[in-house]
Chains A and B, each alone.
Chain A
Amino acid sequence: MVKYFLGISVLKASWDQVFIAFWQRYPNPYSKHVLTEDILFREVTSDNRLVSRRLLTKTSRVPRWAERYLPANVARCAYVIEDSVVDPQSRTLTTFTWNISHARLMTVEERCVYGMNRENGSWTEIKREAWISSNLYGLSRGIQEFGLARFKTSVSKTMKGFEYVLARMQGESPSWTLVETAKEARGKAKETALAAREKAKDLASQAQKKQFV
């Protein structure tokens, strides 16, 4: 037995804005359970689709009633893989996400398809499906119920996070501009310091030469 979830969410932003936000969604105030984020693979295919794999570390809470059945040393964080395909021709983003640790306890597999909203072309629709399963003998039903409830909470957090990141992007200056400026300034400071050091060396060697003359 597997618990199945199907839901549609709409973001009031165009598909390209949402795709850009997708890569910049962590951290946000609703993603405190996401501890690390990495890209492990990325490639543009010959038919111009962007294929990526992202690895996330998330805190994983176990229901209190199940805790006593688990070994005490079960890690309190879980590794999650999120594979994705961005297709700018069809204006779709497809993701498949699942946990690669604690898989015997519970597996949550999620497929999302992001695309243009049919009623309003400047909005984006997310069709989300999930499959929640557990192989833990005798406890699987309870764990799946718990998993589904937690999944629903996490969907609402995901959407709030998206809205937050989209609002930030649509503000006066996108975050990367600010970061870029800071980096440039730092680069310049480094250059100045380097130039000063070279000049000092130059003066020192001149002074030395004078001594020998």
Chain B
Amino acid sequence: MNSVGEGCTELKREYDQCFNRWFADKFLKGDRSGDPCTEMFKKYQTCVQKAIKDKDIPIDGVEFMGPNKEK
């Protein structure tokens, strides 16, 4: 799936692949031996956070589960 930052899609693809494997084989099975995807995530984040700034996507200060708190 494409990233919102046109140049980030390849970095995202690599990270997603790493994550999906970790999620299925380790996390869901209760294996807590650390996350092998941290470096890939950092690289991907550097790229996508810049794209979000450039496109003025209003995510700043949006609280986790934001509006859910009132429900």
Residues of chain A touching chain B, judged by Cβ–Cβ distance below 8 Å, are 16, 19-20, 23-24, 26-27, 34-42, 44, 48, 50-51, 53, 55, 57, 79, 81, 83, 86, 88, 96, 98, 100-101, 107, 109, 111, 129, 131, 176, 179-180, 183
State the Cβ distance, A22 to closest chain B Cβ, in Å. 9
Could you say which of B2, B16, B20 contacts A35, with CB atoms under 8 Å apart? B2
With contacts A26-B1, A40-B59, A100-B59 known, is A51 near B41, CB below 8 A? no
Residues of B within 8 A of A81 (CB): 59, 62, 66
| Separation of A19 and B24 alpha carbons in the complex (Å) | 9
Q: Are B20 and A96 in contact, with the CB atoms below 8 A?
A: no
**1/0 contact string of B1-32 vs chain A (CB within 8 Å):** 11111001000110111011101100110101
Residues of A within 8 A of B30 (CB): 88
- Identify the 4 closest CB pairs spanning chains A and B, nearest first: A96-B68, A36-B4, A37-B1, A26-B1
Closest chain B residue, CB of each to CB of A57: B4
Could you say which of A20, A83, A109 contacts B20, with CB atoms under 8 Å apart? A20
* Interface membership of B58, Cβ < 8 A: yes
Which residues of B22-57 are within 8 A (CB) of A? 23-24, 27-28, 30, 32, 35, 41, 44-45, 48-49, 52, 57
Which among B44, B52, B65 has the highest number of chain A CB atoms within 10 Å? B65
Q: Is the interface of B mostly helix, strand, loop or mixed?
A: helix
| Separation of A133 and B41 alpha carbons in the complex (Å) | 35
| Separation of A27 and B3 alpha carbons in the complex (Å) | 12
Q: Are B65 and A83 in contact, with the CB atoms below 8 A?
A: yes
| Separation of A34 and B68 alpha carbons in the complex (Å) | 23
Closest chain B residue, CB of each to CB of A20: B24
| Separation of A86 and B49 alpha carbons in the complex (Å) | 24
**18 A–B pairs (Cβ distance < 8 Å), ordered by A:** A19-B23, A19-B28, A20-B20, A20-B23, A23-B19, A23-B20, A39-B15, A39-B19, A39-B44, A40-B52, A48-B32, A55-B4, A55-B57, A79-B59, A81-B59, A96-B66, A96-B68, A179-B17
Closest chain A residue, CB of each to CB of B14: A183
Residues of B within 8 A of A35 (CB): 2
Q: Are A98 and B67 in contact, with the CB atoms below 8 A?
A: yes
Residues of A within 8 A of B1 (CB): 26-27, 34, 36-37
